[in-house]
């Protein structure tokens, strides 16, 4: 397709003509998918899961309170609320409402969506609340008094922008926002960070650091840990390279680690997670390792590094979290969680299991309180195992605080892991959940940005798909982080097709094992996973019976010029570089739709308020497919941001559309009659 794109007018996000086109497509999709009693029942069942009163209210500790943000049918925009640990242990905790977002939206005539709050340590009496209009990434920031439970008159305030803001003390914050021309990067994030004092104009805030226009973003933060108070500046050069600086009275001091490593500081310790091999003296540390050093000694030039974790062909570092005195390290062994506690002592680091926990496929640390103690909150679950929330102190057996309800019968649904062989011989893991018989199968994938897809319970998937007889599959393809940085980097830029070959290999393996047939195999993915779906549609259409493509990147010729797209050049390549465009054009879905190929039925969804991945990707792809006579339907939610929905009602509707389409196409529709 030539650069003079005939559908480029659909990139006009709120343009009258473009929105008229959106309304027409939505009406067609509604007429096709929403008129039956089955759709209404499905939407109700999904909404019951999303709004269930007995869901786990996941807490975070802030001083003497446990805070939680909660949405349900009566509070679709949500309640920010708090209680005490003693009350949380009760079956029905006594929740104190701090902020009612529904009431706020009604009183101010705004469609506010909660985007979180940054609470000032260590007193936890002030917060910087972020509110988004319709779910976009851009937020309004407003100072909030947690004692009075009200916004602060003449407090810190930032108008709508993709801002970064964090506390220094009760009278100062670090802020990066849209200060005017030249203050944002090409990706639309802050290029300039300043120190802003209460009661002074934002324009008078003191400059701290300026990045380059082609950087992704810059930001600064203050660590108020008693005895270790420090200020840091981080410059994100691209999605995977960054620079960390210590701010001192004499100026900024670079923390001299490789720019593709991630460095963090806690009390005495500097932790370094490597993304590539790092030679230090006579030692070479591999990609995917976790290293520790005394922070002050490292800044002074000493390079005494201790290896806390080193990967192997089956095991990778997932993440780590500090308590007051211990480091909790979560690793993945063939995509299953393992948790270890590492403790610095005068004799070196010791290690031990976190606790005697039941076997589980996935475990995640929800919260710790490293300023104060060794408390942690841990969530464990599996594909058929509803979540359990544990609270413990390192060294003691944890207690179960909450258990999530079961939303579908797990009996008869087995979970198994298999390995497909990709085109270059790489073994690619995937999980299968189902009854074992051949039938409608939904295959999910992502494969990008070093994101790992680990097992976890989904009441929505269970009710809408598994309980109705479907099989659910998750593919852990390259581009993700399941086996560490090398697994991700092996599908970067010109090697991107390896991720697509992996996904196709899983699809073939499912058919080869008798789990499904091509006509009854549906696929789903969003964002980068939406790009994956677009490539599967245009490059491997014969492998699938249905495609669901959500908030996708699809036009790789222009992605870097649309909203936050410039921040992903390190992942995909630069279309303006002829050498990069040479490999991008080979798979870019929008440029590879052809009139003479038969494509499976497709549903494309997005959000008008997605200010991360431009809705023009989805709009233009659907327009191109339609003009060539292919079987495609479209749904664009006005609100929702990159998540595609701003509340549970919108989310239930979007999910019901997805599963109704899949069941009609794969379960009882013409495609099932093979």
Please state, in angstroms and rounded to a whole number, the distance separating the CA atoms of residues 478 and 329.
23
- 228 φ/ψ angles, rounded to the nearest 5 degrees: -135, 25
What's the burial of 302, exposed, middle or buried (CB within 10 Å: 0-12/13-18/19+)?
exposed
Assess contact for 322 and 297: CB atoms under 8 A: no
Choose, from 527, 550, 567, 588, the residue flagged as catalytic. 527
Question: Angle 497-512/578-587 helices, nearest 10 degrees?
Answer: 20
Taking alpha carbons only, the member of 261, 237, 243, 142 closest to residue 189 is 237
Choose, from 326, 560, 642, 653, the residue flagged as catalytic. 642
Please state, in angstroms and rounded to a whole number, the distance separating the CA atoms of residues 243 and 261.
9
Within 8 A by CB and 6+ apart from 547, the residues are: 522, 523, 524, 533, 536, 537, 599, 600, 601, 602, 603
One-character DSSP codes across 370-412 = TTT--EEEEEEE-SSS--EEEEEETTSPPEEEEEPPPSS--TT
Our answer to whether residue 236 is catalytic in this structure is: no
Please state, in angstroms and rounded to a whole number, the distance separating the CA atoms of residues 217 and 174.
14
Assess contact for 283 and 275: CB atoms under 8 A: no
Length of the chain: 674
Our answer to whether residue 326 is catalytic in this structure is: no
Please state, in angstroms and rounded to a whole number, the distance separating the CA atoms of residues 466 and 469.
5
Assess contact for 619 and 627: CB atoms under 8 A: no
Please state, in angstroms and rounded to a whole number, the distance separating the CA atoms of residues 234 and 549.
34
Task: Encode burial over 348-357: b for 16+ CB neighbours within 10 A, e otherwise.
Answer: eeeeeebbeb
Please state, in angstroms and rounded to a whole number, the distance separating the CA atoms of residues 611 and 608.
8
Residues annotated as catalytic (active site), given as ranges: 527, 642
């Amino acid at each position: 397709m030539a650069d003079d794109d005939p559908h480029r007018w659909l990139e006009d996000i709120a343009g009258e003509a473009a929105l008229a086109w959106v309304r027409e497509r939505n009406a067609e999709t509604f007429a096709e998918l929403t008129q039956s009693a089955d759709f209404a029942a499905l939407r109700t069942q999904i909404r019951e899961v999303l709004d269930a009163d007995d869901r786990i209210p996941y807490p975070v500790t802030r001083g003497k309170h446990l805070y939680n943000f909660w949405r349900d049918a009566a509070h679709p925009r949500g309640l920010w609320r708090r209680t005490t640990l003693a009350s949380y242990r009760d079956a029905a905790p006594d929740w104190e409402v701090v902020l009612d977002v529904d009431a706020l939206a009604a009183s101010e005539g705004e469609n506010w969506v909660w985007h979180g709050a940054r609470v000032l340590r260590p007193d936890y009496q002030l917060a910087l609340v972020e509110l988004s209009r319709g779910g976009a990434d851009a937020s309004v920031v407003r100072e909030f008094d947690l004692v009075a439970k009200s916004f602060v008159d003449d407090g810190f305030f930032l108008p709508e922008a993709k801002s970064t803001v964090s506390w220094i003390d009760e009278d100062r914050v670090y802020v990066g926002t849209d200060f005017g021309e030249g203050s944002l990067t090409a990706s639309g994030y802050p290029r300039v960070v300043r120190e802003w004092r209460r009661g002074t104009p934002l324009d008078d805030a003191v400059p701290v650091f300026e990045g380059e226009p082609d950087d992704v973003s810059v930001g600064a933060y203050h660590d108020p840990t008693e005895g270790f108070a420090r200020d840091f500046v981080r410059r994100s050069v691209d999605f995977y390279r960054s620079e960390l600086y210590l701010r001192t009275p004499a100026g900024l001091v670079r923390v001299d680690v490789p720019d593709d490593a991630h460095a963090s500081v806690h009390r005495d310790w500097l932790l370094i997670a490597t993304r590539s091999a790092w030679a230090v003296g006579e030692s070479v540390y591999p990609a995917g390792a976790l290293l520790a050093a005394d922070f002050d000694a490292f800044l002074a030039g000493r390079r005494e590094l201790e290896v806390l974790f080193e990967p192997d062909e089956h095991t990778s570092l997932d993440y780590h979290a500090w308590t007051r005195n211990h480091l909790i390290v979560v690793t993945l062994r063939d995509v299953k969680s393992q948790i270890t506690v590492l403790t610095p002592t005068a004799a070196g680091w010791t290690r031990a299991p976190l606790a005697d926990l039941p076997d589980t496929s996935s475990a995640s640390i929800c919260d710790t309180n490293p300023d104060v103690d060794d408390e942690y909150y841990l969530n464990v679950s599996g594909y058929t195992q509803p979540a359990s929330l544990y609270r413990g102190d390192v060294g003691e057996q944890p207690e179960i605080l909450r258990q999530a309800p079961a939303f579908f019968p797990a009996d008869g649904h087995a979970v198994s892991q298999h390995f497909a062989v990709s085109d270059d011989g790489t073994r690619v893991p995937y999980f299968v959940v189902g009854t074992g018989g051949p039938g409608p199968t939904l295959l999910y994938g992502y494969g990008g940005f070093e994101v790992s897809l680990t097992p976890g319970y989904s009441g929505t998937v269970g009710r809408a798909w598994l309980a109705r007889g479907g099989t659910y599959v998750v593919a852990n393809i390259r581009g993700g982080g399941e086996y560490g940085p090398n697994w991700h980097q092996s599908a970067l830029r010109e090697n991107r097709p390896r991720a697509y070959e992996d996904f196709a290999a899983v699809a073939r393996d499912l058919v080869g094992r008798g789990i499904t047939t091509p006509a009854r195999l549906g696929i789903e993915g969003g964002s980068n996973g939406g790009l994956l779906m677009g490539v599967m549609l245009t490059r491997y259409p014969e492998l699938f019976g249905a495609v669901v493509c959500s908030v996708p990147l699809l036009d790789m010729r222009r992605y870097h010029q649309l909203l936050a797209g410039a921040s992903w050049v390190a992942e995909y390549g630069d279309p303006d570089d002829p050498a990069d465009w040479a490999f991008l054009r080979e798979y870019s879905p929008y440029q590879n739709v052809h009139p003479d190929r038969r494509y499976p039925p497709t549903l494309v969804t997005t959000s008008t308020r997605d200010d991360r991945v431009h809705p023009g990707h989805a709009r233009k792809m659907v327009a191109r497919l339609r003009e060539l006579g292919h079987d495609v339907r479209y749904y664009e939610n006005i609100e929702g941001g990159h998540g595609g929905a701003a509340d549970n009602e919108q989310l239930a509707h979007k999910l019901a559309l997805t599963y109704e389409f899949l069941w009609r196409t794969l379960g009882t529709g013409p495609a099932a009659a093979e």
